[in-house]
Amino acid sequence: MNTNTEPLPAAAAAGPDAPVVEVEGLECRFGDTVVLSGVTFAVRERELFFVIGGSGCGKTTLLRHLVGLLKPAQGTVRYYGEDFTNADLGARRALLRTFGVLYQSAALWSSMTLGENIALPLEQYTPLNRRERDEIVTLKLAQVGLAGFEDYFPAELSGGMRKRAGLARALALDPRIVFFDEPSAGLDPVTSRKLDELVLQIRDTLGTTMVIVSHELASIYALADRVIMLDAGAHGIIAEGRPRELAAGSGDERVRDFLTRGGEKA
Amino acid sequence: MSAAPTQARVETSLEGDRLVAVLGGVWRITDPLPAWAAVIGDRRPRAVAVRLGELGRWDSSLVRYVHEIERWCRDAGAVCDVSALPATVRDLAALLAQARETRVPFDHSHNLLAVVGVAATGLGRQTRDFSDFIGQCTLSALGLLRRPGRFRWRDCFTEMQQCGAMALPIVSLISLLVGLIMAYQAAVQLRQFGADIFVADLVGLAVVREMGPMMAAVVLAGRTGAAFAAQIGNMKTGEEIDALETLGIAPVEFLVLPRLVALTVMMPLLALYANCLGVLGGMFVSASVLDIPPSAYWIETQTVIDLSDVSSGLLKSLVFGIIVATAGCLRGLQCERSAAGVGQAATSAVVTGILLIIAADAVFAVLFNVLGI
């Protein structure tokens, strides 16, 4: 597939630097335990944005707040300038349709074939007829390199294929933003690198903004335009910027340690 | 064809025998799009040129549309020129066309003979699995007698509370109502002969020998058997059973035996309880409909029921307890690793449990008759 860099109409429509996701003063807590507080950042259109940090620092929790599975104790999440946190049901549904989520375990519905998994969002939200839907399903599967696997059940696939199928489902409605939870979890380095290439390719062809939660250094260096780093002790963001610059010149030892695996040359 | 500037639109014009289709507007997969069949109508151009004009944001719907135009051209024998489109759209459309050709249907359906054959061999395999499982349970139970310290008493007591004490309300309701129903049915018939007092005999014998143990067993098959299967099935889906096995702990010993013991102990107790409430139901109907005082009803019940009736019922319920626990745990361990698999395991635990309960009851009926109990 092509990786050309000609400016896409998709990007031209909104300014290239307009933030698509804005998080302001977000506080996440479970009962009396504060997991994150004062989290503020913005993700720009077409950006590959990484949320990084050690295990247990609240990366996945932050992601679950962004996609609305958890309600923040304080603060707001805005998409394209529109308030998502306090939106009413109708507006919320409309915003939900503009992003796709790929869960850590792919979360494909086990009783449906891959084709049916991808067709479900299309059945729910598009006026397409059956034949047109099938064509979109074929296209989505081909885009993730699974052409011809429409009639397989998730249980009949390997872990890497399931991840890619999950990505195809997340892309079904051509979302402007895709959220990834640990794309490389449980994958070998080669499969994981292929998934990274796929992510890059999708961003370049479709102009999709990607928000990726990860602690995989190889992926972070290969893909990330910008990262924010969370820390369990600080309950929030301790660094923001380009990964290589942070690794070389961050004033915070925790950030340098993380990005260089505790001093090892990256 | 022009509409609001934001909507997807296709404008066509003829240049000689070439049709020029200009795609414009915003192409979103969630919005209604112009149908190509309607756009082309009954025109049959020799060539179609696809161009872009004031195209806004676009997504897969545009790619699919281009693919549809290309396919129409191929079918109609027209030349399709998409060279004016951006490379991204062309490449994606080519990818779609290629993928549609490479699609290999993966057939999950089978023919009738194959289905029958699979079902028949499956029945044999199931029987073997079941006997295998019973063998494992027996061996674990014997091993346990040698080393009783290893038994998971805490799990066993939790399960006893779950399947025994927590089932009291539903067992109470059902056996009381069964007693009531039988007394009503008997009253209508026996009253014609002035044999009102024999309602106590009929209800007492039927409840103690059959209905009490049977109702308790059916309720527990639905309540506890399904719970066992779902719980163990879910553990299997989450690789928890595998974790036990690689630790060298037999799942049968760790999971099945505590449940088996709990249900085997609680089932006769629940059956006894169900007997009492069934008799109580009969007593209530006799007192309110037939004007038989409860004391007379009680004395009649005492004279007709002897220990062998009660104990034969309790013996049956002991076996029913083993059946329900075994069916539930076996189906759980056989569960497929998926959400649907857990549902099937729970269903088949209930079906197997009830089927075996009825079959065992029939065997007991013949056996007791031969033995004259």
Which of B31, B59, B98, B336 to probe the A interface (max A CBs under 10 A)? B59
Confidence of residue B169 (pLDDT cuts 50, 70, 90): very high
Q: pLDDT of B226-257, one tens digit each?
A: 999 999 999 888 888 888 887 777 888 889 99
The question of ipTM being above 0.90 is answered as no
A137 neighbourhood in chain B, CB within 8 Å: none
Which residue ranges does chain B devote to CATH 3.30.750.24? 9-102
| Angstroms from B222 CA to nearest CA on chain A | 24
Q: Which residues pair with A101 in a beta bridge?
A: A179
Contacts of B353 (CB under 8 A, 6+ apart): B221, B225, B323, B324, B327, B328
Chain A contact present for B99, CB below 8 A? yes
Answer whether residue B167 shows pLDDT above 90: yes
Q: How far is CA A200 from CA A19, A139, B335, in A?
A: 19, 18, 39
Does residue A265 have a pLDDT over 60?
no
Tell me whether B59 touches chain A (CB under 8 Å).
Answer: yes
Q: What is the pLDDT of residue A264?
A: 60
| Residues whose CB falls within 8 Å of the CB of residue B102, separated by 6 or more in sequence, listed in order | A147, A148
Average pLDDT over residues B127-136: 91
In sequence order, what DSSP letters do the residues of A161-215 get, joined into one string?
Answer: HHHHHHHHHHTTT--SEEEEE-TTTT--HHHHHHHHHHHHHHHHHH--EEEEE--
Helix (H) or strand (E) run with residue B225 in it:
none
Q: Which residues of A touch B102 (CB under 8 A)?
A: 147-148
Q: How far is CA A138 from CA A180, A218, B103, in A?
A: 22, 31, 8
Model confidence at A16, pLDDT cuts 50, 70, 90, reads low
- Taking residues B204-220, report their average pLDDT: 94
Neighbouring C-beta atoms of residue A58, cutoff 10 Å: 22
Q: What is the amino acid identity at position A187?
A: L
Query: Could you give the CA distance from residue A219 to residue B227 in angstroms, rounded to a whole number?
Result: 43
- Interface A-B: count of C-beta contacts within 8 A: 103
The answer to whether the beta carbons of residues A189 and A218 sit under 8 Å apart is: yes
Contact call for A128 and B29, based on CB within 8 A: yes
A61-72 average pLDDT score:
89
- In this structure, what token pair is assigned to residue B283? 């007593």
Q: Which residue has the tokens 């553990």?
A: B235
Please tell me the pTM assigned to this model: 0.71
A206 contact residues in B (CB cutoff 8 A)? 59
What's the pLDDT tens digit per position in A227-239?
999 998 888 899 8
DSSP per residue, B141-174: HHHHHH-GGGS-HHHHHHHHHHHTGGGHHHHHHH
**For B95-125, what is each residue's pLDDT tens digit?**
888 888 876 666 667 788 888 998 999 999 9
Chain segment B282-335, per-residue pLDDT in tens? 999 999 988 899 999 999 999 999 999 999 999 999 999 999 999 999 999 999
CATH number of A19-259: 3.40.50.300
Of residues B142, B20, B114, the one with CA closest to residue B69: B20
Residue of A nearest to B101 (CA): A148
Distance of CA A33 to the CA centre of its chain: 26
* Nearest-angstrom CA–CA distance, A67 and A64: 5
pLDDT band, residue A160 (cuts 50/70/90): confident
Share of chain B above pLDDT 70, in %: 97
> Closest partner residue to B59 among A149, A155, A174, by Cβ?
A174
Strand partners, A77: A23
Q: Calculate mean pLDDT across residues B197-226.
A: 94
A15 has a pLDDT exceeding 60 = no
* Closest chain B residue to A94, measured at CA: B30
| Predicted local confidence at residue B175, as pLDDT | 95
Better-predicted residue by pLDDT, B339 or B294:
B294
- Domain range list for chain A: 19-259
Contacts of residue A151 in chain B, CB cutoff 8 Å? 105-108
- Which chain B residues are Cβ-neighbours of A15 within 8 angstroms? none
Contact list in A for residue B57 (CB cut-off 8 A) is 9-10, 13
Q: Report residue B344: phi and psi, to 5°.
A: -65, -40
CATH 3.30.750.24 fits B9-102, yes or no: yes
Contact status, residue B64 vs residue A132, Cβ threshold 8 Å? yes
Q: Mean of the per-residue pLDDT values for chain B?
A: 89
- Checking if the pLDDT of A10 tops 60, the result is no
